[in-house]
Structure 1
Amino acid sequence: MPKMENAKILIMATNGFEQSELEYPLEQLKKAGATVHVASLDGKPIKGWDDKDWGASIEADLKISEVKVDDYIALVLPGGQINPDLLRVEKDAVMLVRDFVTGDKIVAAICHAPWLLIEAGVIKGREATSYHSIRTDMENAGAKWIDKEIAIDNGIITSRSPKDLEAFVAKIIEEVREGEHHRRKADAA
């Protein structure tokens, strides 16, 4: 059984990430013993969105284009409306999500972040959840959408909103401890 102390986890985000959806996993995964890196588009600090205004900045460790998928066991995708909408038009970000999934890595997306799963073409036929406002997007992409705090299908973890963060991070830790995920391939989008 892999230990959290040996786990390297990547969080991918850009400006406009939901503050709690990046900070809470970052803090809790580090507290559990994992090495956690943050990748942004340019490798520079990114600013969160906190409730109704801009929040705090988070330092990035590297550029998305510099990420080596084999260095990590898991990818965490925080939501917020702005962050995943900006990332889903960036080729490097979309390819990174696809490469994590096809590389049998854990991918965890919360709130609006499943937009990236849709764009990467990896959600069709899978049970998943998201923020309720993108339910139709998820279903149109072929996801089997459910309204639960956690949905997991072959190593892809999804949650609805900040209120689900505790369960979301607990499931990431559980999956990391289980190790590699040899999953069935997602249907082509």
Structure 2
Amino acid sequence: MRVAFLMAPEGVEQIELTEPWQAVLDAGGQPSLLSTKPGRVQAFKHLDKADTFPVDATVADSSVEDYDALVLPGGLANPDALRLDAAAVGFVRDFFGAGKPVAAICHGPWTLVEADVVRGRTLTSWPSVRTDIRNAGGTWVDEEAVVCHAAPATLVTSRKPADLKAFNKAFLAEFAALSSR
């Protein structure tokens, strides 16, 4: 299973990258870090700088066909920057168009809102994103992890770092089920 992790050059919440990344590795998958610029991404622990991570490919030079699934980690600044990048938004939209599974945590659904893929779906997020999801036609719920099978693609969402165990379990189960078809 080839899993793209999409993030901006800075602002990703480190634990929302590292724990799902490790979960993919532990499940025998191949994670790949995509960003809007080459080099390294600067992660954060809340508002403080944390580690940096090497970018495997830019989103502009990547194709949905190269991956089986997509993960959108959160962090406040990360999805806010992604939703301003046409290539990143298009990549997310194309994942749904291809019917491939997507998982997003915390503020990550902001990129989904920008890609106009939440209409008619049930999802969760950090509470401050609730109104954006509702305004985009989605149904927001306050749960650890939500799996929405509405066409054209499965969407797994979660609220916050404290929900990572449930998030990882849910998205890995969905990714595995879809990649085994």
TM-score, normalising length: structure 2: 0.94
CA deviations 1:129-150 (Å, max 9, x no partner) are: 0100111111111111100011
- Residue type of the partner of 1:164? D
Write out aligned runs for 1:67-86 (5 A): 67-86=62-81
Instruction: Indicate conservation of the 8 Å contact 1:43/1:64, yes or no.
Output: no
Choose from 54, 61, 70 the match for 1:59. Answer: 54
Total equivalences in the alignment: 175
1: CA distance, partners of 2:44 / 2:68? 27
Equivalent position of 1:175 in the other structure: 174
TM-score, normalising length: structure 1: 0.90
Instruction: Give yes or no for the alignment of 1:29 onto 2:29.
Output: no
Deviant stretches of 4+, over 6 Å:
none
Give the drift of 1:160. Answer: 0.3
- Residue type of the partner of 1:44? G
Sequence identity (%): 39
Give the drift of 1:152. Answer: 1.5
2: CA distance, partners of 1:169 / 1:131? 16
| Structure 1: runs of 5 or more not aligned | 1-6, 181-189
Equivalent position of 1:9 in the other structure: 3
| Structure 2: runs of 5 or more not aligned | none
Give the drift of 1:177. Answer: 1.5
1: CA distance, partners of 2:23 / 2:157? 17
Choose from 88, 94, 97 the match for 1:93. Answer: 88
Equivalent position of 1:140 in the other structure: 135
Equivalent position of 2:161 in the other structure: 162
Give the drift of 1:52. Answer: 3.2
Give the drift of 1:167. Answer: 1.0
Give the drift of 1:43. Answer: 2.1
